[in-house]
Amino acid sequence: MKPQAAHRAGALPLRRMAGLPLHRGAHRRPGAALGGAALLVSLLALLPLAFVLWVTVQTGWATASALIFRPRVGELLVNTALLVACTLPLCILLAVALAWLTECSDLPGRRLWSWMAVAPLAIPAFVHSYAWVSLLPGLHGLAGAVLVSVLAYTPFLYLPVVAALRRMDPALQESAASLGVPPAGVFLRVVVPQLRLALCGGGLLVGLHLLAEFGLYAMIRFDTFTTAIVDQFQSSFNGPAASMLAVVLVACCLGLLALETWLRGAARYARLGPGAARPPRPVRLGWFTLPCLLLPALAATLALGVPAATLARWLAAGGGAVWRWGEIGEALGQTLLLSALGAALATLAAIPTAWLSVRAPGRLQRTLEGSNFIAGALPGVVVALALVSVTVRVARPLYQSVATILLAYALLFLPRAIVALRASIAQAPEELEEAAGMLGRSPLRALAAVTLRLAAPGAAAAMALVALGIANELTATQMLAPNGTHTLATSFWSYSGEIDYAAAAPYALGMILLSLPMAWFLHRQSQGGRGR
């Protein structure tokens, strides 16, 4: 009997002894109310996609085709294809190499190097480009974009690969080795196939970041669809050209999602049978220890040393004059306020979908959840364009209001909240929620008093994940925030746009200090597979 079935079977005598009904439907459940709420959230999440389709229809085929099938769009497509084709393989190779060295070998200082591989998450991508452009002013174009992208986004692949290596059963590798397969063959034929899901998921995340990023490529002077849309919007205020570029960008995002689904396939790699997972014996590097140390040391120097040295240089050059404490304090306060409100809204909006995915899985639930994830995969500039158009045409008083920017944050970071909440709700026993209903609590009160209280750690993690994204968000904030709003990210961008790198440095430092605790949290999460 399965553990969950056994648990429910064991609960039946207790219900019988207490004189409670034996069937699960004996009390009302909050499914209908939460289903309606999840449907409403999903409809809002599909607003950017609906906007793209509506703009295409309104523009007309003749105008739309003229704007889409033009040389400029072809140039942007080539840039996008080259950026993804060059960056993703390098990220995969670097992430797998670092993960294997820190998890499967006897590399000295493995825990330190593991943290160093994750720490670049605390540095926003556009701060990476700021550091490198300050160091090498001539670093522009595809080469600069690929270099900075690899350094900024490799941690998104390193984390899932480390988690997969920690869950891997070493008996499979030992069996292959006992059959005479050389070490390289064991790695390629046994280890790599089991990393397939991690590589697909991490690669998708990196690919979507490559499509959506604005600040990094604007500073490195490499044209992408996102930079072109922002430029077009600022010059013609959401003209047809910007909208049609958004159509092509959305098509690229959906194509990337479809490609990841196809590459991931239906294969699953799980350990069956009795027993517990055990850590593998670390591979002895021997004479290769020193050369192997060079890789994590070089990666840490480029991804962490260059930004740290650049910030120290500009802070020293600016002296006390760059510490405009009034402006910095205001930017920090507004960043914290928007992050807290946006995180709370996104987490609250994620509760219905997360609850349904655990308590009432089905085709409709998967459709609603998929809608939220598709919307979360769209770049911030597309979400901002959709909300600008809706508020200008339908709800003018909401244009450039706090409500609009908070809605944009919720739509952009809803998937993060759903994932964190879903895992936490799954660990809350359903029987406790049913028991609260049988004792007279209303369905929603039972949900709040029992399930959400037990899921509080997951809710806190969801809010922290969303707050991290909001604190470093740039494009949607620039386009939607009320006049007079200055976050750390927008203030940094304003000063760096004026080539006043010394004045921008305190804001970059502030974003890094705010992000470090979350990077450490993600690092600790990745270490939870098994002990070392």
- Please write down the HEC assignment for all residues of 102-145: HHHECCCCHHHHHHHHHHHHHCCHHHHHHHHHHHCCCCCHHHHH
* Sign of the C-alpha dihedral computed for residues 440, 442, 446 and 449 taken in this order: negative
* Residue 280: pLDDT over 80: no
Cα 456–Cα 451–Cα 362 angle in degrees, nearest 5: 115
Considering Cα of 271, then 273, then 277, then 283, what sign does the dihedral take?
negative
| Pairwise pLDDT comparison (200 vs 114), residue with the higher score | 114
Confidence grade of residue 26 (pLDDT, cut at 50, 70, 90):
very low
> Which pLDDT tens digit goes with each residue over 396-417?
888 888 999 999 999 999 888 8
Mean pLDDT, residues 224-250:
79
Residue 170 predicted with pLDDT over 50: yes
Q: Which residues contact 10 (CB under 8 A, 6 or more apart)?
A: none
> Is residue 525's pLDDT more than 90?
no
Gap between the Cα atoms of 313 and 502, Å rounded: 8
pLDDT confidence of 2, banded at 50, 70, 90? Answer: very low
54-58, 91-95, 174-178, 390-394: lowest mean pLDDT where? 174-178
How far is C-alpha 450 from the chain's CA centre? Answer: 29
Query: Which CATH code for domain 70-268?
Result: 1.10.3720.10
Six token digits for residue 80: 């996008």
Q: Which of 14-28, 80-94, 440-454, 501-515 has the lowest mean pLDDT?
A: 14-28
What integer best gives the mean pLDDT of the chain?
A: 80
pLDDT at residue 374, as a whole number = 75
pLDDT, greater one: 8 or 277: 277
Mean pLDDT of 157-177: 74
Q: How far is it, in rounded angstroms, from Cα 297 to Cα 303?
A: 10
Query: Is 80 exceeded by the pLDDT of residue 103?
Result: yes
In the predicted structure, residue 502 carries a pLDDT above the cut 80: yes
Other Cβ atoms closer than 10 A to 192: 12
Which whole number is the average pLDDT over 72-100? 93
Residue 66 to residue 458: CA distance in whole angstroms: 48
pLDDT band of 504, cuts 50, 70, 90: very high
440 pLDDT more than 50 = yes
pLDDT given for residue 462 in this prediction: 80
Q: Mind listing the pLDDT tens digit for each residue in 234-245?
A: 776 556 787 888
For position 451, what pLDDT does the model report? 64
Confidence of residue 127 (pLDDT cuts 50, 70, 90): very high
What are the φ and ψ backbone dihedral angles of 100, each rounded to 5 degrees?
Answer: -65, -40
| Cα distance from N-terminal residue to C-terminal residue, the chain | 33
Superfamily of domain 30-45+312-532: MetI-like (1.10.3720.10)
Please say whether the beta carbons of 355 and 454 come within 8 A: no
Q: Which of 207, 215, 225, 209 is nearest to 88 (CA)?
A: 207
In the predicted model, is pLDDT for residue 22 greater than 50?
no
4 or 234, greater pLDDT? 234
**pLDDT over threshold 50, residue 11:** no
Query: 170 CB contacts (<8 Å, ≥6 apart)?
Result: 278, 279, 280, 281
Read off the pLDDT of each residue in 428-434 and give the average, rounded to a whole number.
60
Q: Answer with the residue of higher pLDDT: 265 or 156.
A: 156
Q: Provide the pLDDT confidence category of residue 433 given band limits of 50, 70 and 90.
A: low
Residues, the chain, total?
532
Long-range contacts of 190-198 (CB under 8 A, 24+ apart): 191/165, 193/269, 194/164, 194/168, 194/269, 195/96, 195/161, 195/164, 195/165, 196/264, 196/265, 196/267, 196/269, 197/164, 197/264, 197/268, 197/269, 198/157, 198/160, 198/161, 198/163, 198/164
* Under 8 Å between Cβ of 231 and 213: no
381 pLDDT tier (thresholds 50, 70, 90) = confident
Q: Is the pLDDT of residue 277 over 70?
A: no
Q: Which of the listed ranges 113-127, 195-209, 275-289 does the model predict with the highest average pLDDT? A: 113-127
Percent of the chain at pLDDT exceeding 90 = 29
pLDDT score recorded for residue 530:
46
pLDDT at 303 over 90: yes
At 437 the pLDDT is 59
| pLDDT at residue 83 tops 90 | yes
Q: What is the pLDDT of residue 176?
A: 62
pLDDT confidence bin for 24, thresholds 50/70/90: very low
Q: What is the mean pLDDT of residues 317-331?
A: 91
| CA atoms of 315 and 501, how far apart (whole Å) | 9
The pLDDT score that the predictor gives to residue 426 is 67
Question: Residues of CATH 1.10.3720.10 domain(s) within the chain?
Answer: 30-45+312-532, 70-268
Q: What tokens does 491 get?
A: 């203030």
Give the C-alpha separation, 142 to 86, whole Å: 9
Distance between CA 31 and CA 444 in Å, rounded? 9
- Report d(CA 9, CA 405) in Å as an integer: 49
Instruction: Identify the residue with better confidence: 527 or 513.
Output: 513
